[in-house]
A and B are shown apart, each in its own frame.
Chain A
Amino acid sequence: MKKSIISIAIIAMFIFSLVPLAFAKEATEDANAETTAAASDNSGASANAGARAGIKATARSERTDDMKERNKEKLQKIAELDKKQIERLSNLEVKNVEKIANLKKDRLERLAKVSQEKIERFSELEQDKLEKISDLNEAELNKLGAMSRARLKEIAKDDVQKLRMDLKNTRLVKVKKAEDLDKRNVSDSRVSELREKFEKSREDFNKAKGDVESSRKELNDAVRSKNENKTIESGKKFLIRASDALTSHLEKLKSKVQESKNIPEDNVKSIVAEIDAEIAKINSIKAEVQAATTKEQLKDAAKKLREEWNKVKGIAKLHAERVVSARVEGIVNEGLVLEKKLDSIMAKAKEKNISIDVSAEANAFSEKIAASRNYYKQAQAKLSEALDLRANGEPTESDKISQLIKEADDLLKQARESLKEAHEALKELVKKIKEAIPDAKLSEENEVEVAEESNESSENNTTQASTSMNATASA
């Protein structure tokens, strides 16, 4: 009897354990149906869930139709707009249609010529900014509409003349991926080759660095024991290891510069030439060390190596910042392209009546990318200033140039911090989109339009400075 009760209790526990699972499954099906039924009728969800989702989708569709009708009524007042233009404008949010409808006839006509996606972007602006931008011509409006949300808000604050000037220096680029915005093309095989070279240089550097430490101890022991032959021997060993550490560090830097896709080709060439010249100088000092037979000869070579090292430190810091800056630029470009791809996914969702409320996350992402862009542009301006000073004969290790490099370093750190925050916002954004549209794919190589602004302080404009800097260095 007792055993039967135990058996029944176990079976009862088992049955109860199934109950929450059943609810959970039903809830999941319901949620899936809600998000996918509107997009596709073959969701495969249960009939009931499908029916419920269908009703919700219909209700959403009816709400949208109502909104469109009300918008159309408002816009019908402007008789000059053709049907197509009214259709395009009537898809906007009601509050934004109010702003558009308040525009003067000619302004409204200009605005109505750009694409639906761009009109939506413009309509989010405040009334005064909307008035201002609707004074622009169609081409200018198209460029402006291709900018990121945050950049559009920022640039719309300027007066029309400044706005026009900025747009003159902006071009529309159609890209499939962020790499299409790179300043130069480096093939995958070349990147692999350079990474292998870098790894080899890193190993050489770490070994030489370790040897520098041990040979310095040997040198100090020899000096303390006042053994001249041992001092010369360990001094030579130390200087050879030190030369190896310096050349392998420069080789590491060279590989990273050559791998950088956002340092223009001419600049890469001049940096590589400068690094090679420094490596040659260090190797020449190393040869002097190997040939030295007296303490005086060694001391003389050590002095030269020390001077060279102080110079190399400045050069290495400057070019390392250029590598970091180029990397940051590449990531900012990834952000700009991703924003456009997200916009395109959301536009498609809207067409299918799937509502996703991600405007807060999308704005946060766009603002962080724009902030990062501003920081790295400022950093590039500092680096350009340093390069200009060098071109005018200022030594790389001077306080002025060191200060500029430090400032660029701080700005690049802030740029990276903004990128980290942008990445967090992006993850949240993608999570929400995926919940609403499970088959949404951001990594697909569909074409998007990006506004590329030319910048006076970018690496593009440092070519001349770098070249003349090299001429100064050679001289």
Chain B
Amino acid sequence: MKNKTALVILSLLLISIVACQQQKAAKEQSAAAPGTTGEAAVDAVGKNLNNVAADEKDLSTENMTELDAGLADMQNI
């Protein structure tokens, strides 16, 4: 009886180890962040493209409507 229980526990332990190894392998496979290649020069291109978009947004004057409207209001005080 004890032997059988030990056998079942051992089997479950082995299955757990195998499952952990598979999980680890899957994680390693998807180690590179999504959208990146792991090659610095290539990923830099993507990063720089994002930076251009950010710069464009930061330097835009389109989001200053409140200032425009306020300066117009000041003419009528």
Contacts and interface: CB of A to CB of B under 8 A. Distances in A.
Interface string B40-51: 111011101101
B58 interface: yes
Contacts of A426: 42, 45
B15 interface: yes
Contact of A320 (B11, B18, B60, B71): B60
Contact of B7 (A7, A17, A223, A302): A7
Given A302-B74, A324-B56, A14 B14 contact: yes
Interface in B1-47: 4, 7-8, 11-12, 14-15, 18, 22, 37, 39-42, 44-46
A18 B18 contact: yes
Contacts of A331: 45, 48-49, 52
A222 to B, nearest CB: 8
A22 to B, nearest CB: 12
A42 interface: no
Contacts of A129: none
A283 to B, nearest CB: 17
Interface stretch (A62-70, A150-158, A160-168, A238-246): A238-246
B20 to A, nearest CB: 13
Interface stretch (A305-313, A355-363, A460-468): A305-313
A10 B42 contact: no
A303 interface: yes
B6 to A, nearest CB: 10
A309 B52 contact: no
A17 B15 contact: yes
Q: Among the interface residues B14, B37, B70, which one has the most CB atoms of the partner chain A within 10 A?
A: B70
Q: Among the interface residues B60, B61, B63, which one has the most CB atoms of the partner chain A within 10 A?
A: B61
- The prevalent SS among residues of A at the interface is helix
A145 B48 CA distance: 28
Interface stretch (A102-110, A116-124, A415-423, A449-457): A415-423
Interface string A296-334: 001100110110010001001100100110011011001
Contacts of A416: 49, 52-53
A103 B77 CA distance: 83
Given A4-B4, A219-B73, A420 B49 contact: yes
30 contacts: A11-B7, A17-B15, A202-B58, A212-B66, A212-B70, A213-B66, A216-B69, A216-B73, A219-B73, A219-B77, A220-B73, A249-B61, A299-B75, A302-B75, A306-B74, A309-B71, A323-B55, A324-B52, A327-B48, A334-B44, A416-B49, A416-B53, A419-B45, A419-B49, A423-B42, A423-B45, A423-B46, A423-B49, A430-B39, A441-B39
Given A209-B63, A309-B67, 12 more contacts: A3-B8, A11-B11, A212-B66, A242-B70, A249-B61, A302-B71, A320-B59, A331-B52, A422-B45, A423-B45, A426-B45, A442-B41
Closest 5 CB pairs of A and B: A302-B74, A320-B59, A306-B71, A216-B70, A443-B41
Interface of A: 3-4, 6-7, 10-11, 13-14, 17-18, 21, 202, 209, 212-213, 215-216, 219-220, 223, 231, 235, 238-239, 242, 245-246, 249, 252-253, 256, 295, 298-299, 302-303, 305-306, 309, 313, 316-317, 320, 323-324, 327-328, 330-331, 334-335, 338, 341, 416, 419-420, 422-423, 426-427, 430-431, 434, 441-443
